[in-house]
């Protein structure tokens, strides 16, 4: 199983990725997690990325792709992987295709979790994130179920910023849907429903 997860912020991609990892033992590759780990480990790429992050700038594509490529070569990714939050645009998708070809790792599917905007606004505004490990949960959870860290509301999960995030997604990331449709590997599920129902469709669409 080698898949890319697509969908707007708050579509539930991370939740579905976690369930796939638990059930099938594949690697969950999140660029946010990779960046945090690289910075913490002070690796060569992490030091470079931290410089951009400290300056409030986006980490350049080549650094992100370098981190993803390193991660794809680790042992657990040889059994399969779920890419969550990457690629974010068609340029990154092209670069990913090049790196996967070098590693002889073709994608099996690009899975779109499709959710209505009004549902996303409700989900994101009630989401809380762990300060320490990045785990997300719903409003009312004060301690992280994964590591015990303090939960907080990210600035970009506040209602007043969500519309801008969705507009950015529409302009920059949504073209990936047509990119992977053109490659003949796009699969779509309705993400408006309860997690279990969505997951049943995810596994069915992936032939698992």
The answer to whether 123 is a known catalytic residue is: no
pLDDT band at 143 (very low <50, low <70, confident <90, very high): very high
d(CA 134, CA 36): 9
How many structural domains are present in the chain?
1
Residue of higher predicted confidence among 168 and 200: 200
CATH number of domain containing 138: 3.40.50.300
List pLDDT tens digits, range 178-192.
999 999 999 999 999
User: Which is catalytic among the residues 79, 102, 146, 154?
Assistant: 154
Whether omega before 87 lies within 30 degrees of 0, making that bond cis, reads yes
List pLDDT tens digits, range 75-134.
999 999 999 989 989 999 999 999 999 999 999 999 999 988 888 888 778 888 898 998
The answer to whether 154 is a known catalytic residue is: yes
d(CA 37, CA 125): 26
Range of the domain at 141: 2-205
- Residue 200 makes CB contacts below 8 A (sequence gap 6+) with none
The answer to whether 165 is a known catalytic residue is: yes
Helix (H, G, I), strand (E, B) or coil at 88: coil
pTM of the model: 0.77
The answer to whether 128 is a known catalytic residue is: no
């Amino acid at each position: 199983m080698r898949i890319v997860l697509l969908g707007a912020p708050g579509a539930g991609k991370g939740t579905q990725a976690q369930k796939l990892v638990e059930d099938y033992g594949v690697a969950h590759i999140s660029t946010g997690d990779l960046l945090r780990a690289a910075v913490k480990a002070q690796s060569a790429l992490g030091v470079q990325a931290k410089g951009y992050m400290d300056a409030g700038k986006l980490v350049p594509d080549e650094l992100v792709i370098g981190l993803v490529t390193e991660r794809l070569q680790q042992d657990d990714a040889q059994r399969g992987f779920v890419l969550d939050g990457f690629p974010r645009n068609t340029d990154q998708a092209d670069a990913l295709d090049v790196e996967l070809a070098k590693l002889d790792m073709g994608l099996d599917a690009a899975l779109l979790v499709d959710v209505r905007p009004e549902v996303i606004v409700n989900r994101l505004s009630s989401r809380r994130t762990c300060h320490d490990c990045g785990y997300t949960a719903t409003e009312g959870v004060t301690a992280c179920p994964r590591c015990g860290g303090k939960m907080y509301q990210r600035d970009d999960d506040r209602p007043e910023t969500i519309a801008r995030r969705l507009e950015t997604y529409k302009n920059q990331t949504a073209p990936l849907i047509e990119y992977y449709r053109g490659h003949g590997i796009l699969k779509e599920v309705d993400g408006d429903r309860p997690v279990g129902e969505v997951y049943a469709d995810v596994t069915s669409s992936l032939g698992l």
